Structure 1
Amino acid sequence: MKRINNVTELERNMKMNGYWYSNVKKDLRVIVLAIANLGHIYVESMDRRKQTLSITTEHGSILCYLNKK
């Protein structure tokens, strides 16, 4: 799991590895709120073989998923 502190860092990594939000509007809202409240989120390592990645809180609660483009 990789710790992410802001949305810009997350989106840069997503674009480099070919992932994007499942539902952009809903997922982005959840991620921004989580970062604002918790200070950071965690993302599974962006392995090019996986089709879906989860974004979680520090305690393991899944916030949303990223899909391979």
Structure 2
Amino acid sequence: MVERAYRLDLLVDDLVAVEAKAVEKLMDAHFAQLNTQLRFSGMEVGLLLNFRQWPFKDGGIKRVIHTRA
């Protein structure tokens, strides 16, 4: 396994994981990556940012909630 495979891009107040992208469109794989990071870290809230989508309010920011089963 690659050591950097599951590193967070940004961690806010030890509560929110932020994954930054610069892609035309967010895909299921991006959400799966953030969900995996949330599961491994034990956090519940993550933000997926797409810097190619501007302004953010038009789809460039997505909140992901990981609930423990």
Output the TM-score relative to the length of structure 2.
0.33
User: Of the two structures, which has the highest relative contact order with CA contacts closer than 8 Å and spacing of 6 or more?
Assistant: 1
Identify, as 1 or 2, the structure richer in helix: 1
Task: Give the structure-1-normalised TM-score.
Answer: 0.33
* Larger-Rg structure: 2
